[in-house]
Amino acid sequence: MSLGETARLHIRTPEGVVFSLPLASPILRGLATFVDLAAMLAMTYLSWWLAHQLSVVILETSNATQILLQFLVWIFYPMITEWLWDGQTLGKRVFGLRVMDERGLALRPGQIILRNLMRTVDSLPLFLYLVGGVAAVVSRRCQRLGDLVAGTIVVRTIHSPQPDVDKLLGQELNPFRSFPHLEARLRQNASPDQARIALEALQRRDHFEPGHRLRLFSALASRFREMVEFPADSTAGMSDEQYVRNIVDTLFRHRTMA
Amino acid sequence: MILDLDTFLRKERPSWEELARLLDRAESQNSGPATLEEARRLHYLYQRVASDLVKLQTFAGEVPAREHVEQLVARAYSRVHTERKSLGRFAPGKWFFQSVPRSFRSHGKAFALSFCITLLGAFFGAGMVSLRPELKQKLIPAQFSHIYQTPSERVAAEQSAQYDPEGKTVFAALLMSNNIRVTILALALGISFGLFTGIVLFNNGMILGIVCLDYLSDGQGTFLGAWLLPHGSVEIPAILIGGQGGFIIAGVLFGWGTSLGLRQRLARVRSPLLNLIGAAALLLVWAALVEAFLSQYHSPASYPFKIAIGIVQLSALLLWLGWGGRKETSEKF
């Protein structure tokens, strides 16, 4: 599992359409929490400074104001930011995360309050978030206990960048272009995951051992040949790797997407 | 199946852009569509773009377009299918006088359990200290070190103490933040199947039992009543309500007597939990102010007044939680 990649939550709408939301990994969530803790610490120091300034104007209030402001910052900072920023705190904004209702619906204020009250347990021991971290790791939806009680999930909002196919493949001629009906069938038969695997294999081809590289592209090419058979004269003398390059060109290179 | 992908993308892109504009506007205003026409248009575009998504899902190489459309569908789905009533305006009066008492009563067993465990702790603490008085210093945390004196010494010291306005405000702030933390903890620890909620309540009860026994056995019952009743009549029920919330969560985890799944059971208790924790927080703010500015004022002449205040508060609390919101019964809590 890489830093930002975890499972996706699939939601079927009443209209029968399925869409998926990419769930935030516990590691990313931990990093966002670290930023939030730093922000809360900074606000605590700021509140102490404010309380000190206030004591100059209104005597006998400095210590009480300090205690109250500190308490308010630690209880209300995540609630207020998630409410104002549509499910995001400062840390979540930095790492492109967002809290959502687990059914894909709008986040309710009550859910924000509950998930943040449960932070008292999730942050144990001593704000190390071991309880919440373990819960998120074992949960299928990467939910800490607060998310479970409040019915929320944390999703990634960062868009996957469009692969730079031109840079990867150059402007070489793709013989498969002469067979648009077969290209259409290929696009229909190949799954998004298979397309991604082919693309990543090309992107990382220089990092493979020569033997492994041959075997990988051979396996990929035969998999794609099973989906669509291009005429023999268009593939004559073509290596497996070149075959996969042409497949990726067909799947990813587009004329109109900008 | 799309035969000509490029034509498809060229034709559908304006719909995606229009839906994105509508969603951006709705999200920035945090509201639903402004007019019926706009609502109809949003619904139409949602269905059209959802249909585009189904088509795009069959095309392997269209990952960026698919992800873009998928995100649009997710945002539109959230707008179209969220029940607006659930995001409606908050009515504090209705919440306080109807929703809170109903939530309290509908989970009365959880409160009873919370009360019984606290009472058990109180009897345990009192029993242990009456049998072995030397245990008092071991069972009472250092933050309550003033109790290590005899009650008579404490009463004499309190009655002769000077009024300290800064000390009172600091004390109120400390009490409020500490008690709210304890109450939130009692609620949140319900996720341990109620075990740690029970421990928190038992411990609180134990300290209370020791303090009460200490004062009563030294003939300082009136002082105890005047000191404890004004704030305790509100503070102790508030902590018990926090414990009630914890046991509600525990009950949901156990799932006895229902065939519903865990997520459905949790969804059902979210609203009562919020009502109870909100009520507990309000009560604790009130209790902290009373404790700082009234309970700690120890002139013997004020004792009858302070005891009367405590009794009035407790009666009002019982009336509120026991009878509040009984007239309207159509709404389920």
Average pLDDT over residues B87-94: 76
Whether pLDDT at A164 is above 80: no
User: Domain extents for chain B?
Assistant: 5-87, 99-323
Query: Is it true that the peptide bond before B133 is cis, omega within 30 degrees of 0?
Result: no
- Span of A13-27, A51-65, B181-195, B239-253 with lowest mean pLDDT: A51-65
Residue A201: pLDDT above 50? yes
Provide the pLDDT confidence category of residue A257 given band limits of 50, 70 and 90: very low
Q: Please give the Cα distance from B66 to A165 (Å, whole number).
A: 17
Mean pLDDT within A13-34: 88
Query: Nearest CB to A145: which of B53, B191, B273?
Result: B191
- Is pLDDT at A165 greater than 80 in this prediction? no
Q: Which residues of B23-44 are buried (b: 16+ CB within 10 A; e: fewer)?
A: beebeeeeeebeeeeeeeebee
- Judge: A19–B249 Cβ closer than 8 Å, yes or no: no
pLDDT at residue A32 tops 90: yes
| C-beta atoms of B70 and A250 within 8 A | no
Q: Where are the alpha helices (DSSP H) in chain A?
A: 26-57, 62-84, 90-94, 109-117, 119-122, 130-138, 145-150, 165-169, 180-189, 192-203, 210-227, 232-235, 240-252
Task: Considering only the beta carbons, identify the residue of A21, A151, A190 that sits closest to B270.
Answer: A151
What does the alpha-carbon distance between residue B20 and residue B273 come to, in Å, rounded to a whole number?
36
Q: Do A15 and B53 touch (CB under 8 A)?
A: no
| Residue recorded with tokens 């969560």 | B249
The amino acid present at B90, given as its one-letter code, is F
CA distance A148 to chain B (A): 8
Do B136 and B147 meet the contact criterion of CB atoms below 8 Å apart? yes
CB neighbours of residue B137 within 10 Å: 12
Query: Per-residue pLDDT averaged across A213-230, rounded?
Result: 90
pLDDT value, residue B318: 94
Most confident of A208-222, B107-121, B319-333: B107-121
pLDDT at B175 over 80: no
Residue whose C-alpha is closest to residue A184's, from B64, B54, B59:
B59
Q: Calculate the average pLDDT of chain A.
A: 83
Q: Which of A106, A160, A184 is closest, CB to CB, to B82?
A: A106
- Identity of the residue in B60, B170, B185 whose CB atom sits nearest the CB atom of A187: B60
Model confidence band, residue B60 (pLDDT cutoffs 50, 70, 90): low
Residue B333 has pLDDT above 60, yes or no: no
- The pLDDT value given to residue A255: 45
- The average pLDDT across B272-301 equals 84
Residues of B in contact with A165 (CB under 8 A): none
Helix (H) or strand (E) holding B233: helix B221-254
Lowest mean pLDDT among A134-148, A154-168, B101-115: A154-168
Q: Is the pLDDT of residue A23 over 70?
A: yes
Task: Flag if B270 and A145 touch (Cβ within 8 Å).
Answer: no
Shortest alpha-carbon distance between residue B219 and chain A (Å) = 35
Is the CB of B61 less than 8 angstroms away from the CB of A251?
A: yes
For residue A249, give Cα distances in angstroms to A141, A186, A253, B300.
35, 12, 5, 91
Measure Cα distances from A141 to A34, A186, A214, B270 in Å: 21, 33, 38, 19
Mean pLDDT throughout A78-102? Answer: 90
Question: What is the reported pLDDT for B104?
Answer: 94
Contact between residue A121 and residue A150 where contact means Cβ atoms under 8 Å apart = no
Nearest to B163 by CA among B252, B287, B293: B293
Above 60 in pLDDT, residue A207?
yes
Query: Residue A41 is which amino acid?
Result: L
Residue B223, pLDDT > 80, answer: yes
Using a pLDDT cut of 70, give the percent of chain B over it.
84
Query: Mean pLDDT: which of A162-166, B78-82, B318-322 is highest?
Result: B318-322
Confidence of residue B262 (pLDDT cuts 50, 70, 90): confident
CA–CA min distance B174, chain A (Å): 7
> Which pLDDT score is estimated for A80?
93
The distance from CA A203 to its chain's CA centroid, rounded to whole angstroms, is 21
B64-76 pLDDT per residue, tens = 677 788 888 988 8
| Residue-level length of chain B | 333
The residue ranking higher by pLDDT, A66 or A168, is A66
B64, HSE (Cβ side, Cα atoms, 13 Å) = 14
Give the number of other Cβ atoms within 10 Å of residue A120's Cβ: 19
DSSP line for B243-276? HHHHHHHHHHHHTTT----HHHHHHHHHHHHHHH
Whether residues B64 and A120 touch (CB distance < 8 A) is answered with no
Q: Of A249, A209, A212, A258, which is closest to residue A230 (Cα–Cα)?
A: A249
The pLDDT-based confidence of B27 (bands split at 50, 70, 90) is: confident
- CB pair distance less than 8 Å for B266 and A151: yes
